[in-house]
Structure 1
Amino acid sequence: MILFAPDGTATSINDEARHYLALVPDGPTEPSALGVRLPVCVVVTAAQARAVASERDGRTARARIRTRDGGWLACHASCLSGPDDRPGPTALIIEPAPASDMAPIIADAYGLSPRELEIAQHIARGLATTDIAAALFISAHTVRDHIKAIFDKAQVSSRGELVARLFTENYWPLRDRPGATAYGPV
């Protein structure tokens, strides 16, 4: 977690956030009084949370960051309320991105339609074609057509290859690269 003052100055950071920031590739950063340079995308996410808070719609700001080792981090920030309901500090959480955050990005990368992503997620859960058809209220023939299109787009020939391509290769850190690190608590 990183806390930002209402003026946008980073005021506090925990060791877990330091650990995850160390995984971010070199790029534009801003200095901070915390002893770490903060990636611009982190600073911008916190600023967006402050801007959203001024609109009073209760949303948080979110960003995803690709790490050096091929994994993904998720940042989400929210502006807290201060005295007299004035904007207070902004809390930014940085953590490994859950698969649910990554599915739309991966689907877009392979050109999958929303329905194809939905079917791919059912395949990843181990559902048979008839079970997918029943869950989505479509025919098994339509499911098979979607699966064929998904296989073509992902350039695979089996359900196992598909799951590996969409949900493993693109989500888990690349452990065979030199200097790759595994995620985990600090």
Structure 2
Amino acid sequence: MLHAVGRARATGDASLRMRSRNGPWVSVTATRMGAEGAVAVMVQPSSPQHVIGILMEAYGLTPREQQVAQLVTYGMSDTDISRRLGISPHTVRDHLKKVFDKTGANSRGRLLQLLYFSHYQPDVDNGRTMGRRGWFHSAQV
């Protein structure tokens, strides 16, 4: 968090994601409030979209591979992905093969498990419920 504060003082704004002490990912946003160096810091739970980005970067996926992987997790077919991204279905399959190689997944279901369920499984096991926007409720059920 100190890194975000120092960066905000130097550049005006900074954001980062990190694990909290008890495990969940949190988003930290820092903004310089004036010339005197005061910085406001906001810490909140990271959304699923932020977390999946972190995981895909950790696997070393290129930006295009990340796009393909994201659309696969939405349940889109190769044809749907090719139309959405303006590339051929063959190119989609090439990107997906690279995604599988980098993540160790061997199927779309396994990729979904790696990117979403493995991260959320501790929350599910602890009885936390997810709200409509993909965030887990703070209170235990």
Give 1 or 2: higher helix fraction.
Answer: 2
Following TM superposition, the consecutive aligned residue runs of length 4 or more in structure 1 with deviations greater than 4 angstroms are: 180-183
Please name the residue that 2:109 is paired with. Answer: 160
Q: Is it true that 1:45 corresponds to 2:4 in the alignment?
A: yes
Segments of structure 2 that go 5 or more residues without pairing to the other structure are 129-135
Please name the residue that 2:26 is paired with. Answer: 73
Deviations, residues 64-109 of structure 1 (Å, cap 9, x unaligned): 211344421110011224xxxx447422110111233333421222
Please name the residue that 2:84 is paired with. Answer: 135
Distance change >3 Å, CA 137–CA 176, structure 1 → 2: closer
Q: Is it true that 1:124 corresponds to 2:77 in the alignment?
A: no
Distance change >3 Å, CA 68–CA 176, structure 1 → 2: farther
The two structures have a TM-score, normalised by structure 2, of: 0.76
Residue 63 (structure 1) shift:
2.1
Q: How far apart, in 1, do the equivalents of 2:127 and 2:9 lie? A: 33
Identity of aligned residues (%): 34
Count of aligned residue pairs for this structure pair: 132
Q: Is the contact made by 1:151 and 1:158 (CA closer than 8 Å) also made in structure 2?
A: yes
Segments of structure 1 that go 5 or more residues without pairing to the other structure are 1-41, 54-59
Deviations, residues 114-168 of structure 1 (Å, cap 9, x unaligned): 1111100111111111010111111111111221221222222221221110133
Q: How far apart, in 2, do the equivalents of 1:176 and 1:124 lie? A: 19
- Secondary structure at the aligned position of 2:109 is classed as helix
Q: Which moved more, 1:93-102 or 1:134-143?
A: 93-102
The two structures have a TM-score, normalised by structure 1, of: 0.60
* Bigger Rg, structure 1 or 2: 1
Residue 52 (structure 1) shift:
1.8
Q: How far apart, in 2, do the equivalents of 1:51 and 1:88 lie? A: 9
Give 1 or 2: higher strand fraction.
Answer: 1
Please name the residue that 1:108 is paired with. Answer: 57
- Secondary structure at the aligned position of 1:174 is classed as helix
State the Cα RMSD in Å: 2.6
